[in-house]
Amino acid sequence: MENTNLPTHVGIIMDGNGRWAKAHGVPRVMGHNAGMQAMKKIVIASSEMGIKYLTVYAFSTENWKRSTEEVSGIFNLIVKYVNSELEELDANNVHINIFGDYSMLPKASVDAIDKMIGRLENNDGLIFNIALNYGGRDEVARSVREIAAQVAAGEKAPEDITEEDISEHLWSGSAHFNVPDVDLIIRTAGDFRISNFLLWQSAYSELAFTNTLWPDFSEEEYTSILENFGSRERRFGGRIGEDK
């Protein structure tokens, strides 16, 4: 694939693990395991194609409503992922950030994530952001609370608050990881919504939906979606031929 007109930042809503498991007659956690393998392939493909930022929706603030068995299985897979993939991630120069407060996860998962972040912190290839215990509305609320604290401390006047201030205090912002707004959001498994994912950062994102269940999502389909993105005219509220 030609490295022209690629999105700088791709976001993926990895949907369909449960439906894949049901279709294959296996427990839901096996669907999440298959989804983890698909994620591995897409991370490496992104790195090889020159995508700079990749953000995946791994576990939302709403996912705590799921069964204890399923939630525990997901957290166990985090440990498995780190133990099995850390060497390859490092070899591919991948850097990892976590969007969300992962301190609420079980200690084994927190320790595995800390290990992964520490090992990869000096890498400067693909910036791989994992949205974990993450919600878009929660993220905006956190940003507003941080700005409110500045106002309360007399560091900022309310009338001086800008959109840039809110962006700065998001997980993606310069106060945390300094990741640009998302150019393209891909959702698998046939639903047409973004489900509280990168709400502020997706104001001008291109959207791509596929019926493919996430564990079946291939590098070839990913490449096709990226090529389609490259053919789109992005106007950012302007008109063709005008500045955005």
Identify whether 191 is a catalytic site residue: no
How far is residue 32's CA from residue 79's CA, in Å, rounded to a whole number? 13
State the catalytic residue, choosing from 15, 138, 181, 183.
Answer: 15
33 is catalytic: no
* CA dihedral over 118, 77, 58, 33, signed as positive or negative: positive
Annotated catalytic residue: which of 5, 63, 92, 101? 63
Active site residues: 15, 63
